[in-house]
Structures are given as structure tokens and as C-alpha cells.
Amino acid sequence: DQQVKQNSPSLSVQEGRISILNCDYTNSMFDYFLWYKKYPAEGPTFLISISSIKDKNEDGRFTVFLNKSAKHLSLHIVPSQPGDSAVYFCAALVSGNTPLVFGKGTRLSVIA
Amino acid sequence: EAGVAQSPRYKIIEKRQSVAFWCNPISGHATLYWYQQILGQGPKLLIQFQNNGVVDDSQLPKDRFSAERLKGVDSTLKIQPAKLEDSAVYLCASSDGKDSFQETQYFGPGTRLLVL
């Protein structure tokens, strides 16, 4: 069963606009969430994380929102740039250094 | 600071052959992970080491996969014999292991394996 779900395989956004990538999870024990970005032929690169004690974390153009009651998180990129074009993975874990559980990823294309 | 290093980057073998992958984690990182990423899927953990001890290998197909981290630094992952369904990217990640509560894992570039 898929504990972390990214239901949109792909997303296209105009340069300068907001990109919103969504992620849902089913395991209520998850309490730490991460977003990774992956370019072709490279490993995933850590982007931003959020602990379940927060509902928002911001780092420059990237903001992650967490809605625990809905078991939903989203990554906002504002403004989107062509260099943001990549596959974005949502991942979650239960505190205690347990393995990351990844979604299947969403391919973001930012069009100039 | 150097990132996680992996080699080789690409490998093509025939089924039933053996293959080995190597990983050098970020200096000082105590925790090392091997993930398998099949095309169209997210990475899936195969094995987790804390220093040179195995923390979790519950998803490692032990009849054909083995991994070691003898001196608590570098690690090797071996597949013997390989099957067609082993075609995937094998990712190594590390974390510093100091905060057992919530740690960020840093990934290497991966080894892309194709089994023919």
C-alpha cells in the first residue's frame, strides 16, 4: 500500500507563476516530512522539511504547508523558474531515524 | 564539503551475473542507507547501517542481495545472481546520526543498473 501519495504525475507552470505540488499520506504516525528535487541522472537533493509541530516552513522561494488533520502537505514555489524543472519527491518518516517513505514523484515543468 | 560518492554510475549485466556497487558517505556521517528506485517509483529502502551495524534490512531480498559496511565508512551492495527485475537506480544516502529524532538524508548520484 502506498503510504505517501503524489497523485499528480506531472505539472506545467509558466515562469514567474506559483507552482503547487501536493502530497497525501495515510500513516498518522509520520511526524517529519521532506521534499526532494531530482534532476535526470542525479540523486535526489534535499529541498525543505517540516516537522509535525509546525504547519508552515519557508525557505526563500520554497514554502511547505502541513495540514495534519487532512494528512496533506504541499510545496509552493514562488516565483517558479525554468531551473526548477525537475521531479519532486515527497517523503515522510516516523521520528527515531526510521526509513524515509517516498511518494512516486511529480514532474514539474516550468515554461519560459 | 564533499557529497555522497557512488560508483559505478552505470552498469549493464546479463541476468544471473553478479554486480557490486560502492558508496562513500559524507565525512563523519554515521548512518548510511541503500535505496532501490525502480522507474516511475519513489526510492525504497533496502538497508540501513548505523556505523558498521545493520539497523534495518527488512526489505532487502537476502537470497540475492547483500551489503556490508565493515569499517563504518564505505559500503558495498552486491547482487548475486541478478534478475531482470533488479534493473533500477541504486541510491546511497547518509545522515550524520547525531540526532536520532529527525534527520535529513543526503543522496549520492546513484548507480543505474540494467539487467538484460
Are A9 and A107 in contact by the 8 Å Cβ rule? The answer is: yes
Closest-CA residue of chain B to A6: B42
What is the model's pLDDT at position B101? 62
d(CA B98, CA B30): 8
Q: Are B35 and B66 in contact (CB under 8 A)?
A: no
Domains of chain A: 4-111 (2.60.40.10)
Domain definitions of chain B by residue range: 5-115
Q: What is the pLDDT of residue A103?
A: 96
- Contact check, Cβ <8 Å, B97/A97: yes
Residue of A nearest to B4 (CA): A43
Q: Output the pLDDT for position B1.
A: 63
pLDDT of residue B103: 76
Share of chain A above pLDDT 70, in %: 98
Measured between beta carbons, which residues in chain B are less than 8 angstroms from residue A98?
56
> Measured between beta carbons, which residues in chain B are less than 8 angstroms from residue A103?
42
- Answer whether A102 sits within 8 Å of B97, measured CB to CB: no
pLDDT, residue B45, reads: 94
* Whether the predicted pLDDT of A100 surpasses 90: no
Closest CB to B104: pick one of A49, A98, A103.
A49
The residues of chain B scoring below 50 in pLDDT are none
Domain B5-115 has CATH 2.60.40.10: yes
- The rounded distance, in Å, linking the Cα atoms of B52 and B70 is 6
Question: Which whole number is the average pLDDT over A81-101?
Answer: 89
Tens of pLDDT along A8-56? 999 999 999 999 999 999 999 999 999 999 998 889 999 999 999 999 9
Q: What are phi and psi of B84, to 5 degrees?
A: -55, -40
Query: Please, is B74 exposed, middle or buried when counting C-beta atoms within 10 Å of its C-beta (0-12, 13-18, 19+)?
Result: middle
Residue of A nearest to B39 (CA): A104
Which residue from A42, A46, A104 is facing B40, i.e. has the nearest CB?
A: A104
B46 touches chain A (CB under 8 A): no
